[in-house]
Structure 1
Amino acid sequence: MKFAVLCTLVLAALAQQPKGADNCAPPPSSLAPTLPARILPGMGTVHLAITTSSPEAQQFFDQGLAQMHSFWAREAERSFLQAAALDPAAPMPQWGIAMVAAGDWRPRFQIDTLGAFFGKQVAPATSRARIAAKKAVELAAVPGKATDLEKLYVAAIAARRDPDAKDPEEAFVKGLRTLLAAHPGEVEAELDLALMIMRGFTLPDKKPTAPGSTEAVAILRSLLPRVPEHPGLHHYIIHGFEGSTFAKDAWPSCEKYSQLVTNIPHALHMPGHIYSQTGRWTDAEKSFADAAANERKWMSLDKLYGDGHHGHNVHYLATAYSFEGRYDDAIEAAKELLAFKENPAQQSAPDGVGSARAQGWFAMLRTLVQFEKWDAILQGEMLPVFGRARQDAWRHWAFALAYANTGKPAAAHEEAAKFDQSLADFRARTKRPNPTELEVARFEMLAHLELADGRVDRALKQFQIASAAERRLVYTEPPYYPRPVGEPWGRAAQKANKTKLAQRAFQIALEQYPNDSHAKAATVVSQIR
């Protein structure tokens, strides 16, 4: 009875979580980028006329705007800084710095989810954004230095950067709506508004989390015939449609975006989000591989570039390989990331999932578990001790599954106890509750333990509970959970000769991840039986 109540409480908590985060915008640097900036090829073409005495400043401003629309905050800030250096009296380059320096130019659903997971945090780089916003306000107040439109743009970002703002994002949205009331049809403001009101979609029913999601989609659809060559439009369509019932409607934008922006890693990466969730795994792999090749080039040119976005991209590449059944390729992608070293700040953090090494570690866990490489897991070398409580818990979970599936129930129960110890350590170190995906992992682990102890019917019921909980997890790309619980649930049902139940479990997995090769192959076997 107590266990049933616990399951109910956890499922309710999962259902109430904000839905939607891919967390793939490159994180901000604590240091401002250095000058000079260069006009770069393949950035995409965007133009917003500003008040400036320098045509070159306008050129760098436009480049920064294009880079901003591809979430390349570091290079966008560099371009805006160059524009400001060329025309120190122009307010809009300062507006651009204020928009991107904090590293929070991303969909609203990502902002919501990061806040829910890690609490409201102010990045050190936010101080640069606030200083720039204040300077933009001062410059815009000088007679003749800003149009009414520019003043409204400046006022909107100044509201977001106000350190006393209770809800900075809503203050920004209010400023954008004021701008659009005065200047209907202003494309850049409409794009900015769409990004800031898209709140994602719930799981597993894929309904809008908030009215803003629907409004954002409507804005983006209305812009297609008006500005079909705008790279930011196609990028935001991908984000605005991902996780929805109509994600396939973003396919044309996936193709168009990577044609318009050929030299920014995130632009090459983003189509893979839509392709992966709509079953086009081969196309997703191409997107992620192209982005990785492009990003390796930029990383080699800038020692301060950071490894977070590359980690996210190659992690997603490994995920696509794993779901398509390409074990060796998935392992190699994970190994590339595991070869990265964490910097001192990453090493000292009590919890961390964003470094390239941390993402490579999880990619390795995902691949080994999804392919049920139990012996490789138990050997320990391919999935090394990471040294943080979150990863320790996942490693004990994987070991528990491996022992349970190789006829060693006593060892499996020992690993389950160590799993709980790691979660207690996580809570003590981070002062946060257990990650919800690890609570789901506990549900699934209990199912494997029941199987190992010979209680098949109880195990199948427990798999059902775990699958329901897993499908309610927050939407993330790649998913925070290693693979759909429907896969092991279906295999357990197959072994118990419960064909209809097996087919149901595999179908659930395929609804979550279309063309999941593991579920597809198992479905064929189930039908033959």
Structure 2
Amino acid sequence: MKNKIILRWAGFLLVLGFVLAVIPERREILPKREKASIGAIKCTVSKFLLSNTDSTQQIAPLFENLGTYTFPVTTSNLRSQAFVDQGMRLAFAFNHAEAHRSFMEAARLDPDNAMAYWGQAYALGPNINDPLPDQERKEAAWKSLEKANQKIDGTTPLEDALIRSLNARYSNIWDTDQSLLNENYLREMEKVKASFPENADINTMFAEAAMNTMPWNYWDSQGNPMPYTSDAKEALEKAILLDPLHPGAHHYYIHLVELPKPDLGVPSAEVLGELMPAAGHLVHMPSHIFIRVGRYKDAVMANHKAIAADEDYISQCYSQGLYPLGYYPHNIHFLWSASSLIGESNTALSAAKKTAEKVPQGEMKNLTFLQDFAATPLLAYVRFGKWNDILTYPAPASGIVHLRLIRHYARGLAFVRKKNPKEAKEELMAIKEIMEDPQTATIIATAHNSSDRIARVAYEVVAGELAHLEGDSQKAIEHLRQAVDAEDALTYTEPSAWHVPPRQNLGAILLDLGQYGEAEEVYREDLSRLRQNGWSLYGLSNALSAQGKKEESLKTQSEFEKVWQYADITINRSVF
């Protein structure tokens, strides 16, 4: 399972060219006459610059609003040092391509700066979001590492150790197993950490090396740590203790604990968003914690800020390229998800439409994850009961399978709500046909889940709601419990791989059937997964009231009203 997840995620990223970009800052790192401006340096597309460059021309600009973090190295050239600092900031912000260019500029300014070449090799390597570098990057990393080794005389002991550690991370035997190299690098970084235990950067890079051996797979299904998870956690906690404003340590810590221990990440979430205001991804990252601990309004605000940062960058630098396909719409997508959970329908619907608008229609068949973005308006219409909007939504082309699936799902529920079982059954059969097509299993719908797994949830939800409409309560409950199981089996991602928890459908039907105790249990389960979400708080309050649990019901109703203070809708069920 681990390898399958890694390969799916890697394939997604290799197609996307998934990297972060930032916008320039006005903080004077160097005297104004020396500072590169956005007008003087052409904004670069979001891919690694691996071709030969003119050494007489500046390669990268100094960006602004990237905070004050510094990574001192052996150089007498202040400008080269500034680009090393920027390279590290960008690497910690997961903008490895732009970090690489910064390190290239640092080397251009000071060809004897060994750490500028180390930085190039470091940025070109695998990371948790891009675990399988292509051949061109492997060769470029090796060449940069060779230059770092050639310049190693005169470096500090710490710099010497970092350069030598990369000798274990890379190989010029190009088909060497990447997982073996990751393990070798981790062992070397463990030695470096033992030599420099009080260095925040070293603790952070050790944790990064540990996480690279198990990307997005840090805990088992029971919440127990995987090998090296505890070591990474301890190292990041020490790094934060040593440097409470370390952007890399906070960023990695959020990724490490967001599932299943998000409460541990709250302090990092409260700090990280302000450390590098122009790095949209780091501004967004706190929402990964906020949405897991029930702070949905904070998640909404974080993504508003991240979207603004991204749009500022895109408007200044370029309107085309790969960046707008990845991080930027992810922030809008996240805004839709978070605002939906607190009843901000106008914000959610607007964000859903905007997410879909960012999708280049001609790319959806090959870049299948874009179909998930494109489907967001349909999912928002389901959440807020916009049945007529669903029924007038145009059908996608036949080859756009996942978007077709979601449209059939939405239409199936729309026909159920309009009490048209005949049409609902036709949509259900269309879902089943897609679900059972072997090709559907090859389509990556979200970063981690294939479309057939999403189809299973969709099928069971529509089947359950249809059975309820037709008066078959036992069959309705049966299908919706299967939907719950199917959703629980989905691989973790944010926003959640399924938009409306099936427990909310199940709870609403149990209430309709007078099974109040079971409804209470279902809503409590949902609230343990999506804390303080308004939809299940409302359902739980009704379930408690129906059982005569007046005090508990009033308390839950009060919690609901607090969460729902931002809502622009009223509800009378946990689903429309």
TM-score by length of 1: 0.83
Q: Determine the structure 2 residue equivalent to 1:219.
A: 235
Cα distance, 1:188–1:129 mapped onto 2, change above 3 Å:
farther
Deviation at 1:509, TM superposition (A): 1.6
Asked whether the 8 Å contact 1:321–1:327 carries over to 2, the reply is: yes
Residues 1:267 and 2:289 aligned together:
no
Residue 391 of structure 2 aligns to which amino acid in structure 1? L
Answering whether residue 345 of structure 2 is matched by residue 327 of structure 1, we say yes
- Quick one: distance in 2 between partners of 1:312 and 1:97? 27
Please give the per-residue CA displacement for 1:490-509, whole angstroms capped at 9, x wherever unaligned.
11111111111222222222
Look up the SS of the partner of 1:42 in the other structure: coil
Highest RCO, 1 vs 2 (Cα 8 Å, sep ≥ 6): 1
**1:526 Cα deviation from its structure 2 partner:** 2.9
How much has 1:27 moved relative to structure 2? 0.7
Q: Is the 8 A contact 2:339 2:348 kept in 1?
A: yes
3-state SS, counterpart of residue 92 of structure 1? helix
1:436 match: 453
What is the identity, as a one-letter code, of the residue corresponding to 2:176?
A
Residue 212 to residue 21, structure 1, CA distance change in 2 (3 Å): farther
Pick closer, same or farther for the CA change 1:212–1:453 going to 2, 3 Å.
farther
1:170 correspondence with 2:194: no
Letter aligned with residue 275 of structure 2: L
Partner-residue secondary structure (3-state), 1:277: coil
* Corresponding residue number in structure 1 for 2:356: 338
Q: Which residue of 1 aligns with 2:410?
A: 398
Structure 2 distance, partners of 1:262, 1:211, is 34
Of residues 455, 459, 468, the one that matches 1:451 is 468
Is 2:162 aligned against 1:153?
A: yes
Aligned match of 2:269: 254
Shift of 1:154: 3.1
Residue 144 of structure 2: aligned partner:
135
Which moves more between the two structures, 155-164 or 262-271?
155-164
Task: Determine which structure has more spread, i.e. the larger CA radius of gyration.
Answer: 2
| Partner residue in 1 for 2:439 | 427
Aligned to 1:495: 512
Q: Determine if the alignment matches structure 1 residue 105 to structure 2 residue 121.
A: no
Consecutive unaligned residues of structure 2, counting only runs of 5 or more, are 20-45, 212-216, 445-449, 547-576
Q: Which residue type is aligned with residue 458 of structure 2?
A: A
Distance 2:359 2:525 in 1: 38
Counterpart in the other structure of 2:201: 188
Aligned counterparts, 1:226-245, within 5 A: 226-245=242-261
State the match for 1:313 in structure 2. 331
Pair 479,60 (structure 1): closer, same or farther in 2 beyond 3 Å: same
Equivalent residues in 2 for 1:292-311, closer than 5 Å: 292-303=307-318, 304=321, 306-307=323-324, 308-311=326-329
TM-superposed deviation, 1:316: 0.2
Give the Å deviation of 1:258: 2.0
Q: CA deviation at 1:521?
A: 1.9
The answer to whether the 8 A contact 2:480-2:506 is kept is yes
- 8 Å CA contact 1:98–1:128 kept in 2: the answer is no
The alignment partner of 2:543 has SS state of helix
- Report the counterpart of residue 114 of structure 1 in structure 2: none
Indicate how the Cα distance of structure 1 residues 158 and 393 shifts in structure 2: closer, same or farther if over 3 A, else same. farther
The TM-score normalised by the length of structure 2 is: 0.77
Of the structure 1 ranges 413-422 and 508-517, higher mean CA displacement relative to structure 2 is found in: 413-422
Matching residue of 1:378: 391
Offset of residue 31 of structure 1 = 5.0
Instruction: Determine which of 384, 401, 414 is the counterpart of 1:389.
Output: 401
Taking structure 1 as reference, are residues 319 and 429 closer, same or farther at Cα in structure 2, changes over 3 Å only?
Answer: closer
SS in 2 for 1:454: coil
Deviates more, 1:453-462 or 1:359-368: 359-368
Residue aligning to 1:117: none
User: Shift in Å at residue 161 of structure 1?
Assistant: 4.0
Cα distance per residue 1:441-496 (max 9 Å; x no partner):
33333323432443211211321232133123211111111121111001111111
Quote the Cα distance in structure 2 between the aligned partners of 1:446 and 1:421.
14
TM-superposed deviation, 1:142: 4.3
1:73 to 93, 96, 100: 96
Which one is further off, 265-274 or 400-409?
Answer: 400-409
**Secondary structure of 1:225 counterpart:** helix
Aligned equivalent of 2:63, options 40, 45, 64: 40
- Measure, in 2, the Cα distance between the counterparts of 1:329 and 1:386: 31
Deviation at 1:301, TM superposition (A): 2.2
Give the Cα–Cα distance (whole angstroms) in 2 for the partners of residues 414 and 439 of structure 1.
16
Are 1:133 and 1:157, in contact at CA under 8 Å, matched by a contact in 2?
Answer: no
Q: Residues 302, 157 of structure 1: CA spacing in aligned structure 2 closer, same or farther, 3 A cutoff?
A: farther
Q: Is the 8 A contact 1:69 1:232 kept in 2?
A: yes
Counterparts of 1:285 and 1:447, CA distance in 2: 32
Q: 1:384 to 1:375 in 2, by over 3 A?
A: farther
Which shows bigger deviation, 328-337 or 214-223?
Answer: 214-223
* Cα distance in 2 between the residues matched to 1:143 and 1:471: 51
- Which residues in structure 2 correspond to 1:50-69 (within 5 Å)? 50-69=73-92
Matched with 1:27 is: 18
- Aligned match for 1:279, one of 287, 290, 294: 294
Q: Contact conserved, 1:159 with 1:165, CA < 8 A, in 2?
A: no
The superposition leaves residues 291-331 of structure 1 with CA deviations (integer Å, 9 ceiling, x where unpaired) of 00011011112224621101111100010111111112111
Judged with a 3 Å threshold, the aligned counterparts in structure 2 of structure 1 residues 21 and 487 are, in CA distance, closer, same or farther, namely: farther
